[in-house]
Structure 1
Amino acid sequence: MTVSTAIARLNAADQDFARHLDHLLSWESVSDDAVNQRVLDIIKAVRERGDAALVEFTQRFDGVDAKGISDLILDRARLELALTRITPVQREALEKAANRVRIYHERQRQDSWQYTEADGTVLGQKVTPLDRAGLYVPGGKASYPSSVLMNAIPAKVAGVAEVVMVVPTPRGEVNELVLAAACIAGVDRVFTIGGAQAVAALAYGTESVPQVDKIVGPGNIYVATAKRHVFGQVGIDMIAGPSEILVVCDGQTDPDWIAMDLFSQAEHDEDAQAILVSPDAEFLDRVAASIDKLLPTMERAEIIEKSINGRGALIQVRDMQQAIEVANRIAPEHLELSVADPQAWLPQIRHAGAIFMGRHTSEALGDYCAGPNHVLPTSGTARFSSPLGVYDFQKRSSIIFCSEQGASELGHTASVLARGESLTAHARSAEYRILNEKGN
């Protein structure tokens, strides 16, 4: 196998840099008409025929010889069995990672609050966990037990009563690590279904699959399209694009380290994006040489090659200040600050899903066991989105209690504003409660 890279070289000083950068970053998860219609047909079938449709689609798409829905349900005992089937080293790693993820997310938990005004009016917020969350997990060889931990544990920390996991098992291929992770994370029910049909089942419920309040977890284009269509019926986490990494380096980190950090995202798929920004042109050359040297040693070399050649870049900037400006422009999913004093630059970072500080903090640690969530905004959405967290599984209700005096005082203000909007019933409802006055 012959692999080679021709990674793009950009310079922020070039007049057309902005245009080239925009082109490099452009990516849209667009479902064509055929995919969209197929997903709509699947959702319709699941809504109309429930379990029977799930069995039929699982037989057709996953090649699973299921006689009925009972063949697609895994009980808690099966998850516990998976713990005995993985190696002790694997179990220890899963448990250590789960513990770190749990400790981190426990700090995110929000509590209800209230305050009382001088006239006795009470205002506040009641924080309540979702009743039930659905977790989509890719199946077969493309299985990610780490994603089970990252999605299920925040839900459990939030207080979600029931976490329902769906995971396809193409041709009956069960991933024991995924099931073991589900056991450790406290998943309550597992169905071996996938695709748009699994999303539809979670959103609308069937005879066997319970309807959930929110669906989280990554999937292919059919899963993403289905999540778009059921949003509103249920909540969703996000529509995730390809994985991304942006490394900002001052030129003093080992170039082999940086090359491998870029590979760590490029190996996900051909559309993944890996970018290095540095003011040191000679360092960019050394990293390019490391890429060429290390690429043939990678198991997923062909995927990395296509990713690096298609969407990767080495960007030269004027100085570190401009490097930070470029980073904020890109708003990456993963940002590595591979510099001498990352803390000094942190206040200037405005847009990033996760920030990895210093030369020794590889993005891979965040994917598996550091503690923060690895479900992150992609495709520039870090400008307005946040990592998945406990707050995604909690909802907030406003609390308003008016004392007699408070209702009277607020009634004057509400009356003026309501009549200004020509909403007379609003105004009179407030006016009835004004002391010593009656609404007319």
Structure 2
Amino acid sequence: MENFITGYPGQEHEVRRAMKEEMGEEKYQFFFDKWMEYFFTPSDAKFLASLGLNCIRIPFNHRHFMDDRNPDVIKKEGFKLLDRIIDACAAEGMYTILDLHTTPGGQNQAWHCDSGLHKALFWDYKDHQDRVVQLWIELAKYYANNTWIAGYNPMNEPADPEHVNVPLFYNRIEKEIRKVDPNHILFLDGNTYSMDFSAFKNILPNTVYAFHDYAGYGFPMREQYVATAEQDSVLQRQFDRKMVFMQEHGVPGWNGEWGPVYASPDDGDDYEKINEGRFKLLAKQLEIYRKAHMGHSIWLYKDIGFQGMVYASPNSAYMRLLKPFLEKKKRMGLDRWGRDDKYSGKYYEPLLEHLRSEIPEHLHNKRYPHMWGIEGHVYRVVRELFASEVLTYEYASYFKDKSFDELDEIAASFKLENCVQREELNRILKEDVQSSQTS
């Protein structure tokens, strides 16, 4: 669960804590059990298979398997969650790739590793690394003979400031996994959010090297895609740069995440024109991947309307309930993914200008990740940590005193039959599958 996918502020463990306080243990457990059940059912697997897709990547939180206060115990409940999705996909002839999306301490500085921090402490503490090795050994033991699993993605988007710890950790975890499961493919993300393989020296056996290929043209507040020759050249260079390591070493690559963010009617009267450009961008990136015979997994399948192939209907119980809160989140610009600063930017600009004037220019990009700059790091700490964490309690208050029937209806907003399909996106994906099969 990520904040832009389902609308909560902050990070998953924070909002779960706030909701448990507001709802009580019994209703909290009921709601999340139902939410997880409805979010992906056999109907979802059938829908994905109907588009011709043959593999999906399943992101999961380490907390489904591990309790930070009882770290040596691997919880069986986590396997049940994965089994349900793996089996539903297998029944439709689709493979799955298991993606550990969070780690103890956080493998990167961003919200989606669910650390509650702006530093990647995973790389500073061997204890955190030991726990992830322990988890993957148990996962590999459990799934060693499951041939519907294409492979394991041991860590999503690592970001090590020293640029050496990621390949060292991969060397270690590959050996440990192979002791119990010598057969499944490993999908290893590059450093700095799956974009940098420059520190990778050893080629591991039965391994695919995974990158993520988001295009800036697909996001608000950036230059929009209008299919100029220069823009197409940028897209090609961006892809080629990430493929250098694979080409030099003759090893396979895989695009584990990519895709634009889409506008909604709330974004203004020109939202359809904006999305027309986003769909053209989508098609152009698919053309690049098809020519390179590159496998890919689009991000993402289901959400509340930012990126999903399907999304919760604006008329659903969940979206009606949270409408005032989601409007506040938008005004405050709390979601990094797809954020539009037309409401809140004016409040931050004086602070940013002050910092730029006081901090020597040669230090502006010293803090890793360097590409975030002062603005990105300020927003991470102020918006995505402080403001978002405080507002988890306001989000949770919307669920207080709801009956079990009401909670079931709210969770059921994410059932496929209650969702809206982003038809043009799905049409483009389906046509790409058909083109790939004939080329």
> Which of the five TM-score ranges fits, normalised by the shorter chain?
under 0.3
Q: If the length of structure 1 is used for normalisation, what is the TM-score? A: 0.26
Q: From the two aligned structures, give the one with the greater strand fraction.
A: 1
Larger-Rg structure: 1
Q: From the two aligned structures, give the one with the greater helix fraction.
A: 2
